Amino acid sequence: MAELSSMPLALAVALFIAAACVITLAGVRLSWIADELADRTGMGEVVAGALFVGAATSLPGAITSVTSAIEGAPSLAVGNALGGLIAQTAFIAVADLFYRQANLEHAAASVTGLAQGVLLVALIAMALAASSTPSVTLWGIHPVSVLIPVTYAFGLRLLMEIETRPMWRPVMTDKTRESLSEPDMGPGAASDRSLWLRFAFYATTTAVAGYLVGEASLVIVAKTALSESVVGTVLAGVANSLPELVTAIAAVRIGAVSLALGDIIGGNAFEVMFLSLADFAYSGSIYDAMTDRDRTTALIAIIMTGVLLLGMLRREKYGVASIGFESALVLVLYGGALVLLFL
């Protein structure tokens, strides 16, 4: 931290902005590549959004949380993860603004999307339970930090089974978009190897940028009156979530609405797993560093996810300001979360 404190504040802010721009630009390319990989692997856009895009675009946040935990800033690590949760959920509503054919919750409604949202709520609840119960660690690691990724792996397997053998389906309408389209295999199409290499390149780029965001955030905390929780939740959380925003907007503009939804909710699941990674990197239980403010943020994330799930079940075609009523409510909840954070 001493070395970081020597960096001028202006340089830290410039580094933060530059890294956020790199994260944003890389996210644009990831959306197209992941959509094509979804078609070629036959996974479907929801599962591919959770596995490919959700993981890749979440790398900046993971690096930021782990770096912060290693350098003794647990509140920044927690704030970054939880701030990403609520910011990315709000980004679904922003993406809804760019999809003019119908409300996003209607067009992207699917069994896997609903199951993915339920899995996310379970993961957030596990982290909250760890922060609200007496601290128990084994070799400095809370058991929940092992249970969360195991639960996610089981849930991902379940999502794949639901994708291939669904027990029920939503009613198809003229505004419903299929979650799997034909892959581009025509002349001039990129090879599978080329797609995977490009995917790895852009994912690595976002990971490096995420590290720089974390380092710049630590300097901002040291040089200003802002707390680790505020910087993590508002600044780092939003900056590291920009790939999800750009990817979601780019996805809906090319009609891959299920990919957009899978990317956001899948990325949120990885945000929860950031806490597990940070716990492994931190000397003690990272959940002990969660304040009442952090727990409130996590609860609001659960409410926002529940609203979106209800929106997919209700499936309103058109709503307030050309977006779904659920998307409008999600934006209100996000604004309320920020107000509570500063108060």
- pLDDT tens digit sequence for 17-50: 888 888 778 766 776 776 677 667 666 555 665 6
C-alpha torsion angle, residues 169, 30, 182, 268 (rounded to 10):
-10
Residue 278: per-residue pLDDT: 85
Residue 320: per-residue pLDDT: 64
Residue-wise pLDDT for 176-196, tens only, equals: 555 445 555 555 567 778 888
Is residue 34 within 8 A of residue 199, CB to CB? The reply is: yes
Residue that wins the pLDDT comparison between 287 and 246: 287
Q: Which residues contact 29 (CB under 8 A, 6 or more apart)?
A: 198, 202
Spatial distance between the Cα atoms of 250 and 25, rounded to a whole number of angstroms = 11
Residue that wins the pLDDT comparison between 292 and 165: 292
Q: How far is CA 286 from CA 70, 92, 173, 226, 328, in A?
A: 11, 28, 46, 20, 33
Q: How far is CA 255 from CA 92, 163, 209, 211, 305, in A?
A: 14, 19, 28, 32, 22
Instruction: Say how many Å lie between the first and final Cα of the chain, rounded.
Output: 28
**Chain-centre distance of CA 152, in angstroms?**
14
Spatial distance between the Cα atoms of 255 and 249, rounded to a whole number of angstroms = 10
- Residues 82-105 have a mean pLDDT of 77
Residue-wise pLDDT for 106-137, tens only, equals: 566 677 778 888 889 999 999 999 888 877 77
- Axis crossing angle, helix 54-70 with helix 192-223, rounded to the nearest 10: 30
53: pLDDT strictly greater than 50: yes
61: pLDDT strictly greater than 60: yes
Architecture of domain 2-157+196-342: Up-down Bundle (1.20)
Helix, coil or strand: residue 168: coil
Could you tell me the residue ranges of all domains in the chain? 2-157+196-342
Rounded to 5°, the CA angle 169-55-269 comes to: 60
Residue-wise pLDDT for 220-267, tens only, equals: 877 787 777 777 777 777 877 777 777 777 777 777 676 677 667 777
